[in-house]
């Protein structure tokens, strides 16, 4: 079973979903902006992705700038807390299959899981 953390307004997220479907995979779709992640889920995704919070955060978002999250003294925990408070800071899409996950940037990354 595959799961996609999806934002339908994002072209990369839509493209990743289309690749999954073209390969016969109908994933569980998690609309993380409507139903924000809890801390254990986000931390688990970071582990499966083998990424730090700094690698998963969207630096171009206004909430990133407004909260000075690019400062050199911002901790991993502070970035996680910010992503929980402002889910649009989470890079997307994330696709999970079992204990593995990839970031769909570029969308073709999802092929690693199939």
What CA–CA distances, in Å, run from 31 to 65, 66, 84, 112? 24, 24, 14, 22
50 is catalytic: no
Query: Chain centroid to CA 54: how far?
Result: 12
**Which residue in this structure is represented by tokens 């807390």?**
81
Angle (nearest 5°) at CA 103 between 31 and 51? 110
Residues in the chain: 114
- Taking the CA atoms of 67, 96, 4 and 13 in sequence, report the sign of the dihedral they define: positive
The active-site residue out of 4, 10, 49, 82 is 10
Q: Write out the catalytic residue numbers.
A: 10
């Amino acid at each position: 079973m595959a799961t996609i953390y999806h934002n339908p307004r994002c072209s990369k997220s839509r493209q990743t979903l289309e690749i999954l479907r073209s390969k016969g995979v109908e994933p569980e779709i998690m609309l993380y902006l409507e139903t924000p992640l809890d801390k254990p889920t986000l931390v688990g995704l970071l582990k499966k992705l083998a990424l730090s919070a700094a690698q998963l955060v969207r630096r171009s978002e206004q909430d990133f700038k407004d909260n000075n999250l690019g400062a050199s003294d911002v901790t991993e925990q502070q970035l996680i807390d910010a992503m929980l408070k402002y889910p649009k800071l989470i890079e997307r899409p994330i696709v999970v299959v079992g204990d593995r996950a990839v970031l769909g940037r570029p969308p073709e990354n999802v092929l690693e899981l199939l």
